[in-house]
Structure formats: structure tokens, C-alpha cells
Amino acid sequence: MTDLASIDTIGTLVAALLTMMVLSYLIGDNLFFRLATYLFIGVAAGYAGTIAWHNVLRPGLVDPLLDDGFARLFEPATIVTLIIPWVLILLLLFKLSPTTSRVGTLPVALLVGVGAAVVVGGAVTGTLIPQSVAAMETLNPGVQAPLTGETGVERLVNVLVVLLGTISTLLYFRFSAKRMPSGKPDRSRILEGFAYLGRLFISVTFGVMYAGALIASLVVLTERIQFLWDVVSMFLKG
């Protein structure tokens, strides 16, 4: 029990020290802040590398080779699941040298292409389509809002605001309009008015996002200051 208490005390002291080193950035960039930053990046990179090795690389590329993988080396399944990934990894290592970096272009292109496809597919199926369906459901004023319970006129006003904001924002991002010599899009005054309204909606949205990020940062800062106060109080009482 004493050893566990000592370990907890050391961990608390290290956490308090690192917190003070990070907060020292308030007086300007300094050695202590950079040291805490490098330590955080190093620990994060080491943790990510360890997780990648134990959860991805070792069970996917090393263990299958050790488990009779060499005996099935020229089977189609082995070539697809083991040989091709190993070849791509070896080609990727050529990126370490500027003289041979062109050899590693293929795996980088595959990484970027597959990553972009996964991101776009996830955004479409996980965000765009569900939000579009939810937006269409809100266009029915007779349906009670699941969160706020609004019905009738309040529901209709909210629906109109959502619809107006969506349409005006999409019109603001209409880049296919013909350009005038001044560089402005050649659109009618009605479309230009909707586009300006879309700018207002975008500005309000970014303002709300910034306020949310600021509030979250203040909450984290308050929690860290409270943590330092608790540490000082613990040692003063002890």
C-alpha cells in the first residue's frame, strides 16, 4: 500500500510539474514549455507506434508469416494479404532518401487515395446523408421536435430558419457563376442577397464554434488550476 501511495504521489507531482511547464507559455516561449511539448509528442508517438505494432502490424503481417506463412508463400491469398503489403512497406522506406523517393510514390499514392476514399465515404454515409434525412424530417411542422418538444408556430419558424440557412449557404458556395471584370460573381440581385445571407449564417456558425472552443479551453484551464491548487493544499496539509 505504501508503494502504491508513493507511486500515486510521484505521478501527481509529475502531472503538476508538467502542467506548470505548459502554463509557463503564458510568459512567452521558453525551454520548459518546449520540453513539455517534446515530451508529449514523444509519448504520443511512442504510444501510437506501440498500438500500431501490437494491433495492426504484428497480427496482420508478422504472425501470419511465422504461422506457416512461408509454406503458403505463393498461394493467392498469401500474396494478396502478405506479400503485396510487405512490398508496399519496403517501397515506402525508399521515401527516407531524396534520391530514391520516386520509388516510394506508389504506396504513398495508395495511402492518400484509400484515405481520401474512406474519409469521403464516411462523411457521405455517416454525416451528409443522416443530416439530410434529419433536415427533411424537420420540414414537417406537425411533427414534434424530439429534443425541444416544439410544435405549431415555433416548429414552423425553426424549420424556415433551417431551410433558409441551408439554401443561402449553398448559394454562397456557388462558384460556377460567371465572373465580372471586378472578380465578383455575375448573379442576380436576388441570388446575391441570398448569398450575402449565407455569409451571415456562416459567420454566426464560426462565431459559435469559436465560442465553444474558447469555453472548452477555459474549462480545461480551470480544471488544471484547480488541480494545482489541490496538489498544493495536499502537501500543505500533509
Ordered by start, the domain boundaries in the chain are 1-67, 75-138, 146-238
CA distance 125 to 158: 25
CA distance 185 to 196: 12
Least confident of 64-73, 74-83, 97-106, 181-190: 181-190
Q: Is residue 89 pLDDT above 60, yes or no?
A: yes
The confidence score (pLDDT) of residue 208 equals 93
- One-letter amino acid for residue 38 of the chain: Y
* 224 vs 81, residue with greater confidence: 224
Query: What's the pTM?
Result: 0.61
The confidence score (pLDDT) of residue 50 equals 94
Instruction: Provide the pLDDT confidence category of residue 212 given band limits of 50, 70 and 90.
Output: very high
Kindly state the DSSP code that residue 97 receives in the 8-state scheme.
S
> In Å, how far are 18, 39, 52, 215, 222 from 34, measured between CA atoms?
11, 8, 27, 25, 22
Q: Is residue 51 pLDDT above 80, yes or no?
A: yes
Mean pLDDT of 32-60: 91
The confidence score (pLDDT) of residue 238 equals 62
Average pLDDT, the chain: 81
CA distance 185 to 171: 11
The confidence score (pLDDT) of residue 184 equals 65
The confidence score (pLDDT) of residue 149 equals 60
Least confident of 23-32, 39-48, 101-110, 229-238: 229-238
Choose among 133, 172, 139, 181: nearest CA to 158: 139
The confidence score (pLDDT) of residue 175 equals 60
Kindly state the DSSP code that residue 144 receives in the 8-state scheme.
P
The confidence score (pLDDT) of residue 146 equals 56
